[in-house]
Homo-oligomer: A and B are copies of this chain.
Amino acid sequence: MPWKFENGSPIYKQLVHRIKTMIAAGTYSADEKMPSVREMAVITGVNPNTMQRAFAELEQEGLLYSRRTSGRFVTGEEKILKDLRERLAYEEISRLFDELEKLGMSDDEIRQSVAKWREEPDGND
């Protein structure tokens, strides 16, 4: 089951974002070995070069490191991982406020809208 990609932003960037999210979520944890470029390319259904580029980007951001012949690993610095999760969350919330304020909503309105979101006391979905 290859991953689905939107068209409008480059595949390798979407890969970066999704893998980054998975790392932040702990799907891959500190010092754990990532699937090889080729494996990951097969899994996601993209060209190995594209995956290579995504991995290179993540490595450059310090989230991954590679050992010459044994593979790529999630960084061992737990602080980076913790910060990553917080940073991603921060960015998303920040973005929300930015966008909704541009629409003329006050901070309180925004918080209220979010508070009501999917709030279904009886829980049937």
Contact = CB atoms under 8 A, between A and B. Distances in A.
Interface of A: 7-9, 11, 13, 21-22, 24-26, 66, 68, 85, 88-89, 92-93, 95-97, 99-100, 102-105, 107, 110-111, 113-115, 117-119
Nearest to A99: B92
Contacts of A103: 21, 24-25, 85, 88-89
A95 B93 CA distance: 10
Contacts of A92: 95-96, 99-100
Nearest to A47: B69
B68 A104 contact: no
A22 B103 CA distance: 7
Taking chain A's interface residues, is the majority helix, strand, or loop, or is none over half, making it mixed? helix
Interface centre among A22, A68, A97, A99 (most CB of B within 10 A): A99
B104 A111 contact: no
Contacts of A11: 68
A30 to B, nearest CB: 15
A118 B102 contact: no
A26 B105 CA distance: 12
A84 to B, nearest CB: 9
